[in-house]
Amino acid sequence: MARKVVNRKELRAQSDAAEARDKTSGKKEKTVKEKKVKVAKEKVPGEKKVAAKKSVRKKVAKESRMKAYWGVFNQSMKRLVMFEYADKKAAEKKASELTASSRATHFIQLVKEPISE
C-alpha cells in the first residue's frame, strides 16, 4: 500500500512549459474547470426547470400585555387565593393566617397573567 511520491518540482516545470507553449502559439486551452462549467450550462432537451422555493415569513408573535397579582400558595405550589398587586399586605396576612391554621406553610409569590381584552 505504498503511495507514489509526487515530485512537485517536476509538475511545476511541466506546468510552466505548457504555459510558455500557449503564449507562443497564441492559443489558450480551456481548463478542466471551464469545460465543466460549459457542459453544465448546456441545456439538455426534455428537462424541466424546477421552481425555486418561495421564502415564507414567519408571523411575529404579538406581545400580550400582562397584569401582576400576588398569589397565596401552599407547599405543593397550588395557588389558593389571588390578590391585586397593590394589596400585598392583605396577601401576606392571608398567608400567615393559613400557615397558623394548618401545619403546612403558605407563602406569597408574584403571578403575571395576560390581560384578556
User: Residue 64 has what pLDDT?
Assistant: 85
Tell which phi-psi region holds residue 46, choosing left (phi > 0), alpha (psi between -120 and 50) or beta: left
Tell which phi-psi region holds residue 67, choosing left (phi > 0), alpha (psi between -120 and 50) or beta: beta
Mind listing the pLDDT tens digit for each residue in 104-113?
A: 999 999 999 9
Answer whether 110's CB lies under 8 Å from 68's CB: yes
Answer whether 79's CB lies under 8 Å from 109's CB: no
d(CA 43, CA 49): 10
Which of the pair, 58 or 67, is modelled with greater confidence? 67
User: Residue 84 has what pLDDT?
Assistant: 95
d(CA 57, CA 19): 52
User: Residue 88 has what pLDDT?
Assistant: 95
Mind listing the pLDDT tens digit for each residue in 5-55?
A: 788 888 899 999 988 888 887 655 555 556 565 655 655 566 667 778 888
